[in-house]
Amino acid sequence: MNRIPLVAGNWKMNKTVPESLALAADIVAGLPRLDDVEVALLPPFTSLWPVSTSGIGDTGVVLGAQDLYWEVSGAYTGEISPAMLSGWCRYALIGHSERRRLFGETDDTVNRKVQAALAHDLRPMVAVGETLEENESGRTEEVLSRQVPAGLAGLDEAQGLQVVMAYEPVWAIGTGRTATPEHAEQSCALIRRLVAQALGPAVAESVRVLYGGSVTPANAAELMAQANVDGALVGGASLVAADFLAIVAAAAPPLA
């Protein structure tokens, strides 16, 4: 199956509104044709709407939120509801390891957020991955075998077709230490098998599994050449337009 690669830039807690508008404009100005790769920007919440109304909609670039809460409204100071994002924001990143590690998110809260996103027409980008200690003790498979079904619990096939998975080994995020292409491929292939077990072969065949963790222009092509790696979730390098554009170019399959 021909899966269109997706390159998503997670800006994390970086960029003021004017800085976000400038970065989005630089990215859009340098983008190639978008038929063969999908590009998503995930600015901080304060910048999401300004970036969305800055003209990027005409370019094919789409937006994603870095997180959301599972309730629709109410006394949840500081949280952002899926209803507030629905209709103009395509993706919601859920379960990023920084959310799990620094803000106490669990497999259960990840699943609640996935369900809430889907109920509001947002496509969940579900991040999973092992810590350094888990990696070094040979427990990558065990961790993914827990996180993937837990994150996708309760979904039906139609909902599964909206999901994007992101394999993000925690030890590779923001460290400059990238997974080898072999490790990325092995883990992304495992995630696809776990999706097949949870949601069936049709979903597994079409779900995009991204790799994230210190992706740079220098390593992107080799990572994305792997059969089960369908794009990249990019942190640090997404804050520099030229670097992000080079990663987008590496993800686009060669034109026939």
- 114-153 mask for ligand PEP (x: CB under 6 A)? ----------------------------------------
Cα separation, 162 vs 247, in Å, equals 24
List the catalytic residue out of 105, 168, 183, 185.
168
List the catalytic residue out of 96, 98, 120, 134.
96
Of 92 and 215, which CB lies nearer to ligand PEP in the complex structure?
Answer: 215
Of 85 and 127, which CB lies nearer to ligand PEP in the complex structure?
Answer: 127
**Cβ burial, residue 161 (10 Å; 0-12/13-18/19+):** middle
Of 32 and 174, which CB lies nearer to ligand PEP in the complex structure?
Answer: 174
Q: Does 212 bind ligand PEP (CB under 6 A)?
A: yes
- Least distance to ligand PEP, CB of residue 219, Å: 11
Concatenating the DSSP letter of every residue in 123-190 gives EEEEEE---HHHHHTT-HHHHHHHHHHHHHTT--HHHHTT-EEEE--GGGTTTS-PPPHHHHHHHHHH
- Least distance to ligand PEP, CB of residue 173, Å: 4
What pairing do the DSSP bridges indicate for beta strands 38-42 and 6-10?
parallel
Concerning whether 183 is annotated as a catalytic residue, the answer is no
Instruction: Please say whether the beta carbons of 181 and 143 come within 8 A.
Output: no
Which parts of 162-191 interact with ligand PEP (CB under 6 A)?
168, 173-174
Cα separation, 139 vs 126, in Å, equals 20
Of 21 and 247, which CB lies nearer to ligand PEP in the complex structure?
Answer: 247
In sequence order, what are the beta bridge partners of 124? 92
Concerning whether 168 is annotated as a catalytic residue, the answer is yes
Of 117 and 234, which CB lies nearer to ligand PEP in the complex structure?
Answer: 234
Cα separation, 181 vs 185, in Å, equals 6
For ligand PEP, which stretch binds (CB under 6 A), given 52-60, 68-76, 230-238, 242-250? 230-238
Cα separation, 184 vs 173, in Å, equals 13
- Least distance to ligand PEP, CB of residue 135, Å: 15
User: Which residues of this protein are in contact with ligand PEP, per CB under 6 A?
Assistant: 10, 168, 173-174, 212-215, 233-237
By annotation, the residues acting in catalysis are 96, 168
